Amino acid sequence: MRRLPVYILIQTSGAMRGEPIEAIKVGLETMMASLRQDPFALESVWLSVTTFNRKPEQILPLTELENMQLPAIALPEAAGSHLGEALEFVCKKIDSEVQLSTPERKGDWMPLLFVMCDGRASDTLLFNKVIPVVKGKHFGKIVVCLVGNKVRTELVKLFANEVVNLETTDSATFRKFFEWVTVVVAEGNRSVGATSDISLPPPPPEINSII
């Protein structure tokens, strides 16, 4: 079986407090419910959820969509957003969890990465170091969703294929965003081939796309 690994990285400090994190949780649940209606996704999508503030933590290891249940997302009091460390963490997870093709085993589809954050990295040094590593990982697609009203775009542009900005963090906007993410994921495993990039459907008009 070829798997489509989908990594979700969620910042749990700063901009995420309050309404956003609730909306993300609802959004993820809705997304999983719709993916289960898509036979391709149901048979191939594997999801992993990692949260980060000062430290990254994988709250859901790479799990088959069929068997997965969304764990609770805790919001600690800790401030700080170590985006560099979080990306490095996800890259390491990919090294150990994603299967490459060998003569004896079919490789997975190229992994997808969705990051939800405010675009800030308090660990600048590590962040700069980790960018080439992320670039070398052959993600099918990296989508960053900026949340909050004091977001920074420069840093995330360095590694994302697509950056969307959710200026309003109400649940309706999030719902639109996750509907779009669902399409991207469902599309992800049937479009690889002729080009190295997978084709990405355009985001809905409600979402302010930066790149």
Partner 1 sequence: MSAININFPNGKVNQEYSIELKSVAEQFGIAELNFEGLEDLGLQYDEDEQQITGVPSLAGDHQIVMKYQLKDKQDGQPEFLSKEITLIINPDPKELWKKSIPTPENIAYYKPDSNKEFVKVETKITKKMLGLKQTKEARKDLVAASQRGRSHAIEGKPRDDDFALFFDEASEWYVMTVADGAGSAKYSRKGSEIACQTVIEVCKEQIAAKRAILEKAIRVLSKEQTQENRNAVGKTLYEIVGGAAFKAYKNIDAEVSKRAGENEQEAVAIKDYSTTLLIAICKKFDFGWFIGGFWVGDGGMGIYRKEPEYLKILGEPDGGEYAGQTRFLTMSEIMQAEEIYRRVRFDIVPDFTALILMTDGITDPKFETDANLNRIEKWHQLWRDLEGENEDRLKVDFTDDNEQAADQLLQWLDFWSKGNHDDRTIAILF
Single-letter code of the amino acid located at 31: M
Residue 176: strand pairing partners: none
Contact characters 185-204, partner 1, x per CB under 8 A: ----xxxxxxx--xx-----
Q: How far is CA 148 from CA 19, 113, 153, 185, 202, in A?
A: 10, 20, 12, 24, 22
CB of 6 to partner 1, least distance (A): 14
Query: Does residue number 38 form part of the binding site for partner 1 (CB under 8 A)?
Result: yes
To the nearest whole angstrom, how small is the minimum distance from the Cβ of residue 171 to partner 1? 17
SS3 at position 75: coil
Q: Residues 84-123: x/- map of binding to partner 1 (CB under 8 A)?
A: ----------------xxxxxxxxxxx-------------
Q: d(Cα 80, Cα 16) in Å, to the nearest integer? A: 12
Instruction: Give the footprint of partner 1 on residues 137-196 (CB under 8 A).
Output: 138, 189-195
Residue among 42 and 210 whose Cβ is closer to partner 1: 42
Which of 87, 67, 204, 209 has its CA nearest to residue 137?
87
Residues near partner 1 (CB under 8 A), total: 37
Phi and psi torsions of 89, nearest 5°: -60, -45
State the Rg of the chain over Cα: 16
Residues 114 and 208: their CA atoms lie apart, in Å, by 16
Among 22, 25, 26, 40, binds partner 1 (CB under 8 A): 40
Q: With contact defined as beta carbons under 8 Å apart, do 152 and 209 qualify?
A: no
CB 64 to partner 1: min, Å: 10
Determine the interface stretch with partner 1 among 31-39, 115-123, 156-164, 200-208 (rule: CB under 8 A): 31-39
Which stretches of the chain bind partner 1, using CB under 8 A?
1-2, 29, 33, 36-40, 42-44, 66-69, 100-110, 138, 189-195, 198-199
